[in-house]
C-alpha cells in the first residue's frame, strides 16, 4: 500500500511542525496498517492463508513497517522538498490460492481502499460526538480537542489514500482491477510495467502533478462535504496558549 501527502495538508495553520507531526503520524500509521490488514483478511477469506501463516494478519504496526518505504523515503523526500510519498510493507498474498482467481484478485485489491473509505466516513460522526462531549464536559475540552483534530486528519488522509491507491499504475491497487478491463495482449504488457512501478510513480508525482491533483480531486471534494457536517461541532484549538 502506498500513500502520498503534501506536508500535513489539513493541520491547523497555528500548529508548528512538531505538533502537526504528532497529529498526523499516528493517524497515517493506523490507516496504513488497516489498509494492509484488510488485504490480508480479504485474501484469507478468499482461500489464501499466506499472510496468516507468515504472521502478517495482525494489527501490530511493527509487522507492517518497511524501513525504507515507511521511514527513510518519506523523510528523505521531505528534506529535499519534493512530493512526499511512502508506504507500508505489502501483505504477502498468493492469488493462485483464491477459490476464484479473478474475483478474488479484485476483492483483495479493493479491500484496502474500501477500508480507508470506511474509516473516513466513520470518522465524521466521531468528530461530531467528540465535539459534543467536549462541549458537555469543559474539563475534557483540551484532550478531546486533540482527539478531534486527529479524527479530522483521519477523514482527509484516508480519502487521499483511497483515491491514490486507485490510480491504475502498477503496483497500486487500481492496477489489479484495470488489468481485467484491457484486452489480453494489452493486459500482459501492462502488468509487465509492474517492475517499473515505483519509477513511474515518482515520475508522475514529479512531472505530472496536475494529473495527480485532478485524480485526487474527489477526495478533496468529499473532505469539503464532510466539513459541512462536522465544522459546527469543532472544539477550540487545543494547542492555543
Q: Which residue has the cell 462536522?
A: 230
Q: What pLDDT, on the 0 to 100 scale, is given for residue 47?
A: 95
pLDDT of 110-168, one tens digit each? 999 999 999 999 999 999 999 999 999 999 999 999 999 999 999 999 999 999 999 98
pLDDT bucket at 94, cuts 50 / 70 / 90 = very high
36 tagged catalytic: yes
Q: What pLDDT, on the 0 to 100 scale, is given for residue 78?
A: 59
Query: Catalytic one among 4, 34, 36, 123?
Result: 36
pLDDT of 199-228, one tens digit each? 777 777 778 788 888 999 999 999 999 999
Q: What pLDDT, on the 0 to 100 scale, is given for residue 6?
A: 41
Amino acid at each position: 500500500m502506498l500513500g502520498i501527502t503534501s506536508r500535513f495538508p489539513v493541520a491547523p495553520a497555528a500548529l508548528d511542525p512538531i505538533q502537526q507531526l504528532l497529529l498526523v503520524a499516528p493517524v497515517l500509521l493506523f490507516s496504513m496498517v488497516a489498509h494492509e490488514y484488510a488485504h490480508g483478511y480479504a485474501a484469507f477469506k478468499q482461500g489464501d492463508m499466506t499472510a496468516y501463516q507468515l504472521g502478517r494478519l495482525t494489527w501490530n504496526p511493527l509487522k507492517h513497517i518497511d524501513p525504507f518505504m515507511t521511514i527513510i523515503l518519506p523523510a528523505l523526500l521531505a528534506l529535499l522538498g519534493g512530493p512526499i510519498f511512502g508506504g507500508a510493507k505489502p501483505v504477502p498474498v498468493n492469488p493462485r490460492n483464491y477459490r476464484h482467481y479473478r474475483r478474488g484478485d479484485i476483492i483483495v485489491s479493493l479491500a484496502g481502499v474500501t477500508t480507508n473509505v470506511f474509516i473516513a466516513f466513520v470518522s465524521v460522526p466521531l468528530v461530531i460526538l467528540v465535539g459534543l462531549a467536549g462541549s458537555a464536559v469543559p474539563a475534557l475540552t483540551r484532550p478531546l480537542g486533540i482527539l478531534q483534530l486527529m479524527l479530522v486528519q483521519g477523514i482527509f488522509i484516508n480519502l487521499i489514500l483511497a483515491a491514490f491507491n486507485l490510480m491504475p499504475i502498477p503496483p497500486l491497487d487500481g492496477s489489479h482491477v484495470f488489468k481485467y478491463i484491457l484486452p489480453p495482449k494489452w493486459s500482459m504488457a501492462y502488468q509487465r510495467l509492474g517492475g517499473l512501478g515505483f519509477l513511474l510513480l515518482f515520475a508522475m508525482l514529479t512531472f505530472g502533478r496536475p494529473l495527480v491533483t485532478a485524480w485526487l480531486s474527489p477526495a478533496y471534494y468529499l473532505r469539503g462535504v464532510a466539513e459541512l457536517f462536522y465544522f459546527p461541532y469543532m472544539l477550540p484549538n487545543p494547542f492555543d496558549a
